[in-house]
Amino acid sequence: MPRDHAPDPAQRSDSSSANVAQWTRMNREHTDSRAQEQWAAEEITWGVFGVPDRTIGLPLGEVAGLDIVELGCGTAYSSAWLARRGGRPVGVDPTPAQLETARRMQARGGPQFPLLQAPAERVPLPDASFELALSEYGASLWADPKLWVPEASAPPSTWRPPRLPDELGAAPPLLAR
Ligand SMILES: C[S@@+](CC[C@H](N)C(=O)[O-])C[C@H]1O[C@@H](n2cnc3c(N)ncnc32)[C@H](O)[C@@H]1O
């Protein structure tokens, strides 16, 4: 992975701490209380308008049997959806409170998969461990793109751009396969 664009370490750690503080607060005020319903949802939905997956052509395609990394998984409900469809996700997020909510959902009977505390800029997993990298309002909005995109990228020949329509009015999930 190219390291030419690595920012000053002090600056990087300030930015990460600010993100974690913000998402610790968001967890307390919003995301923890919504997690149960989101984990239980049968249907995958995308974007701020909750557009059902099936109405936009199933952008992820078949996920059964795929090794998947979700970068900035938050409370990890997207990973839970993919696990129920036979995928093998690993959720990665730097905010302990978000991961604690995800672990509680697993303890209540949700699908089991690994959860790692880390920023998407520095994922503590071997290179080429995954066939699909996903970010749904996670790394794509909160991590430094000069660092997380190379970290998540597959070789150019296997890059698969998102297929969500613009009219969603929301950042689509970013997919690499
Ligand atoms: C909106 S949530 C995304 C999770 C979920 N898809 C959702 O919509 O709630 C944003 C997540 O990005 C995480 N995040 C913040 N900085 C990050 C970074 N540098 N790398 C990866 N994730 C980060 C936050 O901890 C938070 O859980």
Atom of ligand 1 nearest to the CA of 94: 25
Provide the residue ranges of all domains of the chain, joining segments of one domain with +.
9-176
- Tokens 């109405």 locate to 55
For atom 4 of ligand 1, the residue with the nearest CA is: 74
Q: Residue written as tokens 């239980």?
A: 40
Is the pLDDT confidence value at 150 over 60?
Answer: yes
Regarding predicted confidence, which is higher, 73 or 16?
A: 73
Give the number of other Cβ atoms within 10 Å of residue 160's Cβ.
Answer: 13
> What confidence tens digit (pLDDT) does each residue in 80-136 have?
999 999 999 999 999 999 999 999 999 999 999 999 999 999 999 888 789 999 998
Rounded to two decimals, what is the model's pTM? Answer: 0.84
Gap from CA of 93 to ligand 1 centroid (Å): 6
172 alpha carbon – ligand 1 mean position (Å): 14
Q: May I ask the CATH architecture of the domain 9-176?
A: 3-Layer(aba) Sandwich (3.40)
In 3D space, the residue among 127, 126, 110, 128 whose CA is nearest the CA of residue 73 turns out to be 110
Give the phi and the psi of residue 138 in degrees, each rounded to 5. Answer: -105, -110
Closest CA to 106 of 131, 134, 133, 73: 73
Per-residue model confidence as pLDDT tens digits over 15-64:
689 999 999 999 999 999 999 999 999 988 888 888 898 898 888 889 99
Go through 8-28 and write b for each residue having 16 or more CB atoms within 10 A of its CB, e for each that does not. eeeebeebbeebbeebeeebe
pLDDT, position 155 = 52
